[in-house]
Amino acid sequence: MDCNGLEGLKMLKVSEKTRELTDVRERDKMRRFARRIIHNKFLELFIFFLIIITFVLFLVELLSPSASSSVWFNALNCFILVVFSVEIIFRRIASKSFKEFIGNCWIDILALLPFLSVFKQMSFLKILRIFRLVSLAIFSVRHLRSFSFLFKKKMVEHVIIMFVILFVIIFATASFFYCEQGKMLNSGEPLENAFWISVFSLFAGEFANSFPETLGGKLTLLLVTFAGMGFFALLTGTVSAFFIERVREGAILGKVNFNDLDDHVIICGWNKNVPTVLMELQAHEELKDRDFVVIADVPELPDMSHAGVDMTSVYFISQDFVNVEVLKSANIEHASIAIIVADTNHRTEIDADARTVLTALTIEKLNSRIYSCAELIHPENESHLRIGKVDAIVLSTNMSAYIITQAALKKSVIPFYTELLRPSQGNQIFEVDFPSDFVGKSFTEQLPLWKFKYKALLVGIQRSNGDVKINPDECIVEKEDKAIVIACKKPRTKD
């Protein structure tokens, strides 16, 4: 083969690799878009109410079969089918693989079967719609955590146990009603009899009537029997600790899938400042709707609701954040911000700084696009982070010493810094693009323009290379520069 042929073959391989990379980027872009859609809080709330409506329709059909033939009933069911189907499609797009999709959505797929015309003739499959209540429970438990400080300890776990018992009774009642009507339930009120049979079978530990005749009835009895055994085990405490721990970890009601998170904030380590960090970040206009993942080698994440933290968007991984696999499990590749705090729990300051440096460098390697912020105790470790291109480095001991020194010299320092550094109140520091008509003007010339047009105080310029100039005497603004301003809210300099 001549040189031209080899060169053409190389070009072909390069073209194929480029095409493959483009396809991967497109799929990743679609996946990120689908994640944003399915995790939109308004959509989640809409699905929440649709599940409730589905359950109400199921009860109406159960109590009044004639209502199921009405036009409004069928129209509402068709609408729900379309919405649930679209949701399933978006969940498939958002999943990295078919296996992951089935693992996360099998309950929703199972609950969708009774809506399909192929299965409508199989009346006993209608009870599968009840499985959608499990999705409702997952949503409820997640958002119930924000009110946990109002209740006694372990209130959330008790609510989960009560839900499981209620779910078993509802499912068993519907199953007996559809499967055993005209057989075991051959007299009286079939629905009422099915309910009491379910209750007594669950709590009495034995079947309260004749043995079921159909396969569906027998399988239901088996489910109720196992549920009754678990219920009494919980009461005696034999299985209680295991059950509650498993629920807390999410093994029964669905573990939090961190692969679904996107543009989230990861906090590595734990110290007394973490609650304040979370509270202030959630108060920021750009971060208030983000999810937060705390990775710390502590047994349990304390309830920070009293500190103003919204616990519904805070997740916890009780493992060592230095471990690469732990960072990957938190979906570090799709996180937008990573904060590594100085974790001195049962460790020396030197050890804490070493772990901070190692973690920060690892995060930059795993996700070069992430904005990383690391807290150090000793300044001699700063050079390692600079080489690793960590975006922000905070020397906690030096910073507090500088503020104390300034506070001793000037009374206004503490109120000034307190307001500027807290996103939850008053004026803040913002980095914004310069308006196109401000480019080419000097710093001094722009001062009144910012105050008049944007109600903001221009205090500095950040150059494209990262250099920051605070209150320069004469400095011409260039195209890629950022304006550092003080304002009550972020100025909108570009539409």
Instruction: Print burial letters for 164-174: b (CB count within 10 Å at least 16), e (below 16).
Output: bbebbbbbbbb
Residue 339 pairs in a beta bridge with: 267, 373
- Tokens encoding 383: 């050079």
Residue 49: partners with Cβ closer than 8 Å, 6 or more residues away: none
Residue 101: partners with Cβ closer than 8 Å, 6 or more residues away: 91, 92, 95
- Tokens encoding 428: 């803040």
Measuring CA to CA, which residue among 90, 136, 94 is closest to residue 111?
Answer: 136
- Tokens encoding 408: 């001793």
What is the secondary structure of 122-145 as a DSSP string?
A: -GGGGGGGGGHHHHHHHHHHHHHG
* Site of tokens 């051959």: 186
CA atoms lying within 13 Å on the CB side of residue 189: 9
pTM score of the predicted model: 0.53
Q: Are 493 and 432 in contact (CB under 8 A)?
A: yes
Please count the other Cβ atoms lying within 10 Å of the Cβ belonging to residue 280: 17
Mean pLDDT by 10 residues, the chain (495 residues): 55 63 72 79 77 73 66 77 82 80 74 62 59 60 45 55 73 73 62 73 63 73 73 60 50 55 90 89 83 89 84 87 91 92 87 92 91 90 86 81 77 78 77 86 86 88 84 84 87 74
Q: Are 370 and 363 in contact (CB under 8 A)?
A: yes
Taking the CA atoms of residue 127, residue 132, residue 137 and residue 143 in that order, the dihedral angle to the nearest 10 degrees is -160
Please count the other Cβ atoms lying within 10 Å of the Cβ belonging to residue 131: 19
- Tokens encoding 116: 């399909």
CA atoms lying within 13 Å on the CB side of residue 477: 26
The separation between the first and the last C-alpha atoms of the chain, rounded to the nearest angstrom, is 57
Measuring CA to CA, which residue among 246, 259, 312, 280 is closest to residue 95?
Answer: 259
Cα gap 242→340, rounded to integer Å = 32
Q: Are 428 and 463 in contact (CB under 8 A)?
A: no
Q: Listing from the earlier edge strand, what are the strands of the sheet with 468-470?
A: 428-433, 482-487, 457-462, 468-470
Angle between helices 71-94 and 41-63 (to 10 degrees): 140
CA atoms lying within 13 Å on the CB side of residue 372: 26
Please count the other Cβ atoms lying within 10 Å of the Cβ belonging to residue 392: 12
Cα gap 324→232, rounded to integer Å = 42
pLDDT at 160 (0 to 100): 66
pLDDT at 147 (0 to 100): 44
Residue 234: partners with Cβ closer than 8 Å, 6 or more residues away: 161, 240, 243
Q: Are 138 and 53 in contact (CB under 8 A)?
A: no
Q: Are 313 and 292 in contact (CB under 8 A)?
A: yes
pLDDT at 230 (0 to 100): 67
Q: Are 331 and 261 in contact (CB under 8 A)?
A: yes
pLDDT at 80 (0 to 100): 77
Three-state secondary structure call for residue 487: strand
Phi, psi (rounded to 5 degrees) for 381: -90, -5
* Site of tokens 């300890």: 153
pLDDT at 204 (0 to 100): 65
Three-state secondary structure call for residue 162: helix
Cα gap 70→77, rounded to integer Å = 11
Residue 317 pairs in a beta bridge with: 295
Measuring CA to CA, which residue among 208, 215, 211 is closest to residue 193?
Answer: 208
- Tokens encoding 81: 């089918």
